Each structure stands twice: as structure tokens, then as C-alpha cells.
């Protein structure tokens, strides 16, 4: 990752995937937290491309309770995928700001299309309290923000899996989930079926963050040309980041979260990132967005010394 590479900020102020308002203001909260200045201080050129416009859920109908707000999510995901592909093709680093985690449908579709065309192998580190591996058949809520990782691996409705092209965007052996602690029954079954490497909070406690990251980096270094990091802020404990859509107690500590980012950054493999589920409505003086901006900085190379 070149120190002077241009970072392109792409905002997707979406809350449709979660079915609740608040996360649609996440990109603005991250900007207010000084994200651009933090990245420029690290030596990057930063181009903020603004936000993709999304139709508010108040003027939409839920046509399918199993896939809530599917038409609009499909539309904006395709737009995001196109923009991500263009950034990568032109040599930039796409940094996607959410918004709920349905944004990663578009993120990974665009990255996957680019990697397929360029003959690169995509790897994904998914830092999240939830594996987001439901489908319309297994989702308890019908909320699409619980489905993006399954979609990227080719599981789910063709309306979503075909965005960016009708192919598997990332292969299960090149996916690692970190920090999971709230897993639905259908997700657990798919994780086991696909043999996706998953470090739950039990594993983090048992083997420690350092050894865990050694294993993650070893797995990615063997097979991956393009490493994407997807960071859901609810991966950390709510005491650190209260302003998230679906908080779950017992999450990563402040230092564990930063260590994950710092260890990945040291590999020089990270080529794209998205940050999801910042909900300022539930926050305290933008505390969660500030934390998320700090996490992005660590992912992009910021060190204590």
C-alpha cells in the first residue's frame, strides 16, 4: 500500500438494510469526527466523492417481508459497486462509509468485479459481532444487513448475488470472521457448511488477540492478492461504541480492535475497507464515530510510536 496513494471516500447513507433509522447519518458522523484530516496527517491524498443518494424508507413500501426494501438496496448497491470498481481500476483505495452493513453487498461486488478482471484473488476480514451470513430463507427479520457476506459468497437471491456480475465474489477459504458473538441458527449452519474460518469472542478470549492475528495473516498471506477489511463498529463492546444499530455485550476491547487493524496494516496487503453501522442517534457526543475514525486510521497505518 503506497504511502501517497489516493483514498477515495464513498458514502452510502443507508439504513434500509437494518429497518431502523439513524445509520443513514453514519457517513456524516464519520466526516464530522475528522476522518479526512486523520488520513491526510498520515500522508495520504484524500478525495471525498460524497454520498450516493438513497430514497428514504418513509416513502417506500416493504414489498417482501423476507427481503425488506430489496429494490432500493439492489439499486444503490449496484451504483456503489460501479464506483468502487472505477476507483480500483484507476489505482485508488476505496474507503466506504456506512450506513448499515448491507452496504458491503455493493462494496464486495465492485471489488470482486475488479479482482476477477485483473486476475487477483480477493480475501475478506470481516470484523463483526454478527457473521451476516443469513439468506431470505434463514433470516429471522428479513433485514438485508444480515446477509451481505453470504451474498458475496454466492448464497442468497440472484437479485443481489448478480450485482457486479453473476459469479462468486469471494471464496469461503479466503474469508475470516472476527469477533462474532450473536449468530443465528441458519448462519451457523452455513458457516459450518462452507467451512468459513470464524473467531468468536470465545476464541479471542481463549487464544488471545496476538496468536489469533498470526493465524489470520498466515491464512491470508498464502492465497490473497487483494485484502478487504470490513469493520462493523458493533464488533467492539457497547461501552466503547454505544452508537451502533445492534449492540451486543461482550465485544472486543478498544486495544483488541486497534491491534487487529494495526496487525493487518503491517502486512501491506489491505487494498480496500468499509466501515458500517455507526448510528449517531444512539450515540453520545459522536463518541462512536470518533472511535471508528481512529480505527480507520490504524487500518491505514497509524501507530503509537
Convert the pLDDT of each residue in 175-204 to its tens digit. Answer: 999 999 999 999 999 999 999 999 999 999
Convert the pLDDT of each residue in 252-277 to its tens digit. Answer: 999 999 999 999 999 999 999 999 99
pLDDT at 2 (0 to 100): 40
Exactly one of 101, 155, 226, 258 is catalytic; name it: 101
Exactly one of 85, 237, 277, 283 is catalytic; name it: 277
DSSP, residue by residue, 206-260: HH-HHHHHHHHHHHHHHH-SEEEEEEEGGGB-TTT---BSS--SS-B-HHHHHHH
Instruction: Please report where in the chains the cell 448497491 appears, as a residue.
Output: 77
Question: Which helix (H) or strand (E) segment is 126 a member of?
Answer: strand 122-127
pLDDT of 1 > 60? The answer is no
What residue ranges do the domains of the chain occupy?
6-299
Compute the average pLDDT of residues 233-258. Answer: 96
Percentage of the chain modeled with pLDDT above 70:
99
Q: Is 237 a catalytic residue?
A: no
User: Which of 52-61, 210-219, 291-300 has the least mean pLDDT?
Assistant: 52-61
Q: Is 155 a catalytic residue?
A: no
Exactly one of 100, 184, 234, 283 is catalytic; name it: 234
Compute the average pLDDT of residues 13-30. Answer: 94
Exactly one of 24, 85, 100, 128 is catalytic; name it: 128
Exactly one of 8, 24, 100, 145 is catalytic; name it: 145
Q: Is 228 a catalytic residue?
A: no
**CA–CA dist 199, 220 (Å, integer):** 15
Q: Is 283 a catalytic residue?
A: no
Q: Is 171 a catalytic residue?
A: no
In 249-269, which positions are buried (b, 16+ CB within 10 angstroms) versus exposed (e)?
Answer: eebbeeebbbbbbbbbbeeeb
Q: Is 130 a catalytic residue?
A: yes
Instruction: Please report where in the chains the cell 457497547 appears, as a residue.
Output: 238
pLDDT at 4 (0 to 100): 62
Report the CATH superfamily, name and number, of domain 6-299. Ureohydrolase domain (3.40.800.10)
93: cell is 483505495
pLDDT of 3 > 80? The answer is no
pLDDT of 226 > 90? The answer is yes
Collect all residues with Cβ–Cβ distance below 8 Å to 95 and sequence separation of at least 6: 7, 8, 9, 10, 272, 273, 274, 275, 296
Exactly one of 24, 132, 184, 283 is catalytic; name it: 132
Mean predicted lDDT score pLDDT of the chain = 96
Exactly one of 24, 85, 182, 232 is catalytic; name it: 232
Compute the average pLDDT of residues 22-51. Answer: 97
Q: Is 100 a catalytic residue?
A: no
pLDDT at 20 (0 to 100): 84
Amino acid at each position: 500500500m503506497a504511502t501517497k496513494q489516493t483514498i477515495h471516500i464513498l458514502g452510502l447513507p443507508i439504513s434500509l438494510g437494518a429497518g431502523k433509522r439513524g445509520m443513514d447519518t453514519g457517513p456524516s458522523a464519520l466526516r464530522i469526527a475528522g476522518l479526512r484530516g486523520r488520513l491526510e496527517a498520515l500522508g495520504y491524498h484524500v478525495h471525498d466523492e460524497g454520498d450516493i443518494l438513497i430514497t428514504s424508507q418513509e416513502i417506500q413500501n416493504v414489498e417482501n417481508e423476507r427481503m425488506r426494501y430489496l429494490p432500493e438496496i439492489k439499486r444503490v448497491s449496484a451504483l456503489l459497486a460501479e464506483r468502487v470498481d472505477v476507483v480500483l481500476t484507476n489505482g485508488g483505495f476505496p474507503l466506504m462509509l456506512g450506513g448499515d452493513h448491507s452496504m458491503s453487498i455493493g462494496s464486495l461486488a465492485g471489488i470482486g468485479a475488479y479482482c476477477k478482471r485483473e486476475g487477483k484473488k480477493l480475501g475478506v476480514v470481516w470484523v463483526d459481532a454478527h457473521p451476516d451470513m443469513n439468506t431470505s430463507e434463514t433470516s429471522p427479520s428479513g433485514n438485508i444487513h444480515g446477509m451481505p457476506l453470504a451474498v458475496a459468497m454466492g448464497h442468497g437471491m440472484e437479485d443481489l448475488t448478480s450485482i457486479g456480475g453473476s459469479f462468486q465474489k469471494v471464496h469461503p477459504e479466503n474469508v475470516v470472521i472476527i469477533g462474532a458473538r450473536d449468530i443465528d441458527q441458519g448462519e451457523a449452519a452455513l458457516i459450518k457448511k462452507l467451512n468459513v474460518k470464524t473467531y468468536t469472542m470465545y476464541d479471542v478470549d481463549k487464544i488471545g488477540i496476538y496468536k489469533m492475528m498470526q493465524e489470520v495473516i498466515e491464512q491470508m498471506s498464502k492465497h490473497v492478492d487483494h485484502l478487504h477489511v470490513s469493520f462493523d463498529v458493533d464488533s467492539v463492546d457497547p461501552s466503547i461504541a454505544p452508537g451502533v444499530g445492534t449492540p451486543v455485550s461482550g465485544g472486543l476491547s478498544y486495544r483488541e480492535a486497534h491491534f487487529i487493524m494495526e496487525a493487518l496494516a503491517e502486512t501491506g496487503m489491505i487494498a480496500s475497507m468499509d466501515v458500517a453501522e455507526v448510528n449517531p442517534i444512539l450515540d453520545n457526543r459522536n463518541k462512536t464515530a470518533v472511535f471508528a475514525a481512529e480505527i480507520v486510521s490504524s487500518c491505514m497505518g497509524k501507530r503509537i510510536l
